[in-house]
Amino acid sequence: MVSRKYTKEETDRFVTIDGIRLHYNEAGDGPALICTHGGGPGANAWDNTKWALDALAEHFRVFLVDMPGFGESQMHVSREGVPMDIFCARLKKGFIDHLGIEKTHLYGSSAFSAAALRFGIDYPDRVGRVVIQAYAPSQHPGLTPGLKAVGDFAREPSMANMEKMMEQFTPNPELRTRAALEARFRAADNPAHLQSRLEMSAASNSDLVAELRSLTAKVLVTWGNHDGMIPVAGILAALEEIPDVRAHLWGGNSGHFVATEHPDEFARLVTDFLLK
């Protein structure tokens, strides 16, 4: 039974990598595990994984890292035309180099899943295993109801639009608490963030399909059956495209944030996968 309760304040850290100031939270001991977030308004690594952090930190040295333009990391960062997956994989490489970490496991969510796979492709000697969430390399979901709601909020950041967006992220109304909505709204209602995230869009990732043939790391794909953002049919595409892969699909009106909706089971699943 997990007894340790980490707080954001005690785990807050900052580091500058390649001239970019990154915010992260660090907890636990053991093999390194870097966790990032998705690309929607208000996304950040702490809120993405905090409910599973205590259980994961029982087994791993966990880093919840905000990518540029998100959370408390530096805003208005330019990729200088470099595809987002390559840009962010390089940042992760610089991050572990700075901390003296030889090898790390990775967890990427949604838009930043590609960066986790890219790290495995480009730095095979520095990666353990990879967990991704709601992402398939060949999938181009088009304007789903969820992505439309994301765009509506970005253009007009209001609580009403936040509620519509979160209905697509988290279809189970019992999990869309007022506290969760207000926290996401506070994180999203920042003009610097809303502008900065445009530079870090899922559309700016590379086409990874052909390059995945060289990926040797084992990969776990996770998804929720009622994800209103990225169609769950992508889980089958991921199983076809990634060489050494397995998948876990949650039913029961599960949405986009499986690490938040099923934190205990998510932590057990990830721990078993990474340590076996």
Catalytic machinery residues = 256
**CA 38, CA 44: separation in Å to the nearest integer?**
7
Angle between helix 159-169 and 178-188 (nearest 10): 110
Cross-strand partners of 133 = 109, 222
Strands (E), the chain: 12-17, 20-27, 32-35, 61-65, 104-109, 127-133, 219-224, 245-250
Question: Could you give the 3-state DSSP secondary structure of residue 88?
Answer: helix
**Amino acid, single-letter form, for residue 184:** R
H/E element holding 204? none
* Cβ-proximal residues to 55 (8 Å cutoff; 6+ apart), any chain: 2, 263, 264, 267, 268, 271
Angle between helix 178-188 and 45-57 (nearest 10): 120
Q: In what order do the strands lie in the sheet with 32-35?
A: 12-17, 20-27, 61-65, 32-35, 104-109, 127-133, 219-224, 245-250
* Cβ-proximal residues to 3 (8 Å cutoff; 6+ apart), any chain: none
